[in-house]
Structure 1
Amino acid sequence: MNIETLACFPDMQIDTAHGITGYREAGAMHLRTLPVVLLHGIGSGAASWVRQLDALGMKRRVIAWDAPGYGASTRVASEAPNAFDYAQALSAWLDVLDITRCVLVGHSLGAIVAGSLAADAPERVAGLLLISPAAGYGAASKELRESKRDARLTMLNELGPQGLARERCANMLSQHADESAREWVRWNMARIVPEGYAQATHLLANADLAADIARFHGRIAVAVGAEDTITPPAACERIAQAARVSLQVMPRAGHAGYVESPAAYTTLIDSFCQSIECHLKDGVPQ
């Protein structure tokens, strides 16, 4: 079902000041609603958002990127990048797409990139929705940062993308997920590019999401699956506190909740967008 639906949203590539960025898009004709930009996590890609592209594209422009080093997207220059490096690539991509203001939806590692752009270019971000956000280890000791980074790099080197997909899939979903959701997580994870994943482990080690979102004074929402064991509700509560909002807990969902419970997460995204649009005057600035 997901592969068949994905054919409706082909992989696209565009040249930017950063390099090539790959992405998938829906609803480009909707000009009177806020565009939504979907940012995936460390073991995923733009295709993972296919159900949101399908549903949300009925009423608004929806664009899911392949982060630098994923799919055909050009890697960031630094071998040990930070969140700002990725946020610059995101900004360059939005420039070429002529998106001056949007709702950013970041899942897991994608929340780190979203938070960095919101902190440094708040005028571009009408709203920030963080789903099962990874906090990053930037505020931790050097030893902890390096140990977390090295553990992921070792796993990548030992297992490769196919092995990661096989070994990590179960951790991404709750016990309620059906086999099609599990297969979709495996399919996306098996397609990661090792060099891009390695850079993303450095991003995770260097980032401090709480510090970034504390600098952003726009509209923020934070949500997590009730059964998320990777970024559990207790960890996401700290991010919500930094954002000065209440944490939304999604029932019967794990870390990749938008894959296993697509309708609930699509409603979450759309409701957040509508709440922002209700407060805008004189239309939506683009």
Structure 2
Amino acid sequence: MSQETELDTRFVFAKAIAQEAGAMALEYFNGRDTLVIETKRDLQDVVSIADRNVETFIRARVAEAFGADGFLGEEYGYQEGHSGLTWVVDPIDGTAPFVNGLPTWCVSIAVLHSGVPVIGVIHVPCDDELYAAATGMGASLNGKTLGLDPSRNLQNAMTGIGCNSYVTPERVGAIVSALLGKGGNFIRNGSGALMLAYVAAGRLVGYYEPHMRAWDCMAGYCLVKEAGGTHLPFPAEGEALLQGHPVLASNQTVYADLLAIHTV
């Protein structure tokens, strides 16, 4: 099987499994009052049985269809493969909005080749939206091709900003202050993956978070790139794949401005 055929096969599969996983997650969301919520690193870092069961479902389906592929998921870690391809999955990105009844959460699925995201699929069950991209195939939202508008900038559009307990309040304050100082404005909806999808769709002009993990950003990075945007490289080979790194993605117009904020 050629590399192009392998990519096509996995792309079709990723879109289908994202929708199946999203339907499963949506059932949990609609019955969230019965979910047992646990905390991980701190009280804001939450996890539920929904996260774990959705990841288990995706892992099992990928192992059945592509047993030689590697797999990295937020809840159950890394399993090395030997095909040269690795699935990187966040079963529910935006667990805090999820458990609090907000719709800004998603299923994020990427496939990496040599550390580069070659497939990115993000399903947003509450909005019935499927973002999908693969190398050389462009990016789409519910089948409609996405392309970024170079006339959008920090001043006439919104920028997504992410934060977590790995980043000091002072650092977050400096980032927001720098963005406002450039005449920009910001939004944070609790899901970095979803905000990256919004960048690909042109709803946000860019997204920046000083510390993210691969499962939060790889699908979004593929989407933004295929929509015509650009992003900060994410070290994704060896141990670096398992560590947190800065994430920045935007249209071509504002990348330099956001890069300056990154170095503040």
Q: TM-score surpassing 0.5?
A: no
| TM-score, structure 1 as length reference | 0.30
Structure with more strand by fraction:
2
| TM-score, structure 2 as length reference | 0.32
Structure with more helix by fraction:
1
Instruction: Using CA pairs under 8 Å that are at least 6 residues apart, name the structure with larger relative contact order, 1 or 2.
Output: 1
